[in-house]
Amino acid sequence: MKQQKYSNESGFNHFDLLSEEIILSILDCLNENPFDKKMFSPVCKSFYAIESRHRKSLKPLRSEHLTNILSRYPNVTHLDLSLCPRITDASLSLISRSKMLRSIDLSRSKFFTHVGLSNLVTNCSSLVEIDLSNATELRDSAAAAIAEAKNLEKLWLGRCKSITDIGIGCIAVGCRKLRLISLKWCLGVGDLGVGLLAVKCKEIRSLDLSYVPITTKCLPSILNLEHLEDLVLEGCLCIDDDSLAVLKQGCKSLETLDMSNCLNVSHVGLSSLTTDNGHLRQLIFAYGSPITLAFAESLQKLSTLQSIKLDGCLVTCPGLKAIGNWCISLREISLSKCLGVTDDGLSSLVTKHKDLRKLDITCCRKITHVSIAHITNSCTCLMSLRMESCSLVPKEAFVLIGQRCHFLEELDLTDNEIDDEGLKSISRCSKLSSLKLGICLNITDEGLTHIGMCCSKLAELDLYRSAGIADPSILSIAHGCPDLEMINIAYCKDITDSSFISLSKCSKLNTLESRGCPLVTSLGLAAIAVGCKQLNKLDIKKCYNINDTGMIPLAHFSQNLRQINLSFTSVTDVGLLSLASISCLQNMTVLHLKGLTAQGLVAALLACGGLTKVKLQASFKSLLPQPLFEHLEARGCAFQWSEKIFQVRYVWKCGKKKKGKES
């Protein structure tokens, strides 16, 4: 019967009429939805064969599948192993047979050594990208192995804390074609290793030295790199104004400079690094020295600057006004968590920079309606506005955003006074794809319904603890926003199964955070499981009415689920064990499940073969056998233990103390 589905009675397959070129063109159009290719491949033998030759990128879930996967897809050029915690030397030996491999990501993998790396780079001569971030056990011998990758162009070594100048020296000598290298948190590396990189690897475009204990000794060599575009010196505490002043040279090719958390550098040292720069487009000086008039005046000659990020700095009004008087027109300004931002300074700034596309004023708690009026009047082309916790901005000001800023795609209004009238106005921003309304206590279904009706491009919606939200507005969102990918309705306590059933129509939904929704039951969860097959993150903590009945459809339909929080639900051994059929499942939080026994937990942990992180109640630690931990940790699984005990909270209602559930 299956054969008749694709063939007529004579056995002729109509798909054979399609040329390979046409089929490859079809495959090129199937990148958006991962399920499309899965359904494409089994259509017929020719489709199966062509798809295996067409695929160039792989992201396997488990290392034990590598043999079959690499055999099935011989033309792979990019291999992402970030979901495989256990990659051994034997695994790398197997991978080394893929002669066309150009890029490999090992940033979340452990258990391999310099032997496996040597085998990999020796046999895969086409390798141009290697990500070894977080490989804290790798030493200089591993760096020496990497040095054999003569064609290497991009290398990430973030948090490789055991690699020293000797290892970096080997890489500098062997990998002369390097264009990008990240040494973030490589605490064993200093001026010698970085200096060798700068001298030997003349093609470097991007260099990340965040929190590396360097001084200014290696900076002259770095600044002499003719093609350097991105330089990150975040947290380099040994660099100060005095040492920078003697350099008397900048880097003419530099486009992005990050000096965040350089506590000993002020505008004096910063101006030394930017001398004669004609290409600098972005300056990041977060959590640095105060932004004064002198700071602004020292940088006013940067004629190409488009973005400046001053997050966490103490900002003065004269400093902001001086930035406003720069002759250039900035496209991005970030003042997140800056003390000292006032209406006077901010209004002056935005009035002059009318071409702003991105503005971040998160936690600028002194600004009022005045600032919002100037922002919306001057910066009508804004695409991103982040203003979480601007507590003095009144509800009337939010109406101006919808009236004047129609190009907004991202809007963060978390913890603000916005009400339904504000939401009604903001619904005019039809291009919105991300809207955050967490802890907005004045909004109700009436206002959010307008968003659902008018903002059809919405992909991300955060309603965390917005207590006035219930089923009617979620129905409007689900109906009007078919591209919704993420929604947070945590602690919206009036949400019921009706909302879940509505959201099940959003086929692209991949993240659902619904902790603290006590009225939701297994019926609603079952609807999500059936309708949202791309779901990969689910938080149903404190959904007390979800039990094993909800786990069965989840286990059957949600085969892409990677992270789940089941704490304080009514799931028992049976429901937890059923999740073993989800091969993608990697991260599981299981706290205070009354129906969970030690025996049931052991069975579930052994059956869920892809787990990489499990959070459990500390009381289980003594009940589980030690060989179990050894087995799971060898498989690449890490355990986190919670000491928090179950607490009963009391809620005051009408002057009476009423017993409630755990907080």
205 contacts: CB under 8 Å, gap ≥ 6: 179, 180, 227, 228, 229, 230
Which residues make Cβ contacts (< 8 Å) with residue 492, sequence separation at least 6? 463, 465, 466, 467, 469, 470, 516, 517
Residues 381-404 have a mean pLDDT of 98
Over residues 403-414, mean pLDDT: 98
Dihedral pair phi/psi, residue 484, rounded to 5°: -60, 125
Residue 242, judged by CB atoms within 10 A of its CB (0-12, 13-18, 19+), counts as exposed
587, 563 contact by CB (below 8 A):
yes
Q: What's residue 36's pLDDT?
A: 66
Q: Which residues is 650 bridged to in the sheet?
A: 659
Tell how far CA 178 is from the center of its chain: 26
Q: Which two structure tokens, joined as six digits, stand for 512?
A: 């659902």
Cα four-point dihedral sign 403, 409, 410, 415? positive
Q: What is the pLDDT of residue 617?
A: 95
Q: Taking a C-beta distance cutoff of 8 angstroms, is the pair 367, 392 a contact?
A: yes
pLDDT in tens, 109-146: 999 999 999 999 999 999 999 999 999 999 999 999 99
Strands 656-659 and 650-653: antiparallel
The backbone region for 44, taken as left when phi is positive above 0, alpha when psi lies in -120 to 50, beta otherwise, is beta
Q: Kindly tell me if the per-residue pLDDT of 7 is higher than 80.
A: no
The residues that bridge with 230 in the sheet, in sequence order, are 206, 256
Q: For residue 160, is pLDDT > 80?
A: yes
Q: What is the pLDDT of residue 568?
A: 97
Residue 3 confidence (pLDDT): 41
Q: Which of 255-264, 296-305, 446-455, 495-504 has the lowest mean pLDDT?
A: 296-305
- For residue 152 the two structure tokens come to 């290497």
Tell me the two tokens of residue 438. Answer: 């967490």
Region at 276 (left for phi over 0; alpha for psi -120 to 50; beta for the rest): left
CA atoms of 588 and 229, how far apart (whole Å): 41
Residue 407 is classified by DSSP as: T
Distance in angstroms (rounded) separating the CA atoms of residues 230 and 194: 15
pLDDT at position 31, please?
Answer: 65
Distance CA 291, CA 68 (A): 57
Rounded to two decimals, what is the model's pTM?
0.90
pLDDT digits (tens, 9 = 90+) for 542-576: 999 999 999 999 999 999 999 999 999 999 999 99
Q: Using CA of residue 398, residue 399, residue 404, residue 409, what is the dihedral sign?
A: positive
Mean pLDDT along residues 517-541: 97
Distance of alpha carbon 196 from alpha carbon 189, whole angstroms: 11
Please give the DSSP secondary-structure letter assigned to residue 646. Answer: P
- Asked whether the CA dihedral 521, 522, 525, 530 is positive or negative, the reply is negative
Q: What pLDDT is recorded for position 12?
A: 57
Q: Are strands 587-590 and 282-284 parallel, antiparallel or unpaired?
A: unpaired
As a whole number of Å, the end-to-end CA separation of the chain is 56
Query: Which one-letter DSSP state was computed for residue 57?
Result: E
pLDDT exceeds cutoff 70 at 651 = no
- The residues near 165 (Cβ < 8 Å, ≥ 6 apart) are 188, 189, 190, 192, 193, 196
Q: Which of 250, 246, 221, 134 is nearest to 186 (CA)?
A: 134
Do 183 and 158 contact (CB within 8 A), yes or no?
yes
Phi, psi of 258, deg, nearest 5: -115, 110
Structure tokens, 273 = 């690094």
391's tokens: 């507590």
CB 503 within 8 A of CB 532: yes
In angstroms, the CA 179 to CA 528 distance is: 45
In b/e form, how buried is each residue of 77-94, taking b as 16+ CB within 10 angstroms? bebbbebbbbbbbebbeb
In 325-408, alpha helices (H): 343-352, 369-378, 398-404
Question: Average pLDDT of the chain?
Answer: 91
Q: What angle do CA 571, 577, 583 make, to 5 degrees?
A: 120
Mean pLDDT across the stretch 400-410? 97
Residue 552, both tokens: 């069965």
pLDDT tens-digit readout, 329-378:
899 999 999 999 999 999 999 999 999 999 999 999 999 999 999 999 99
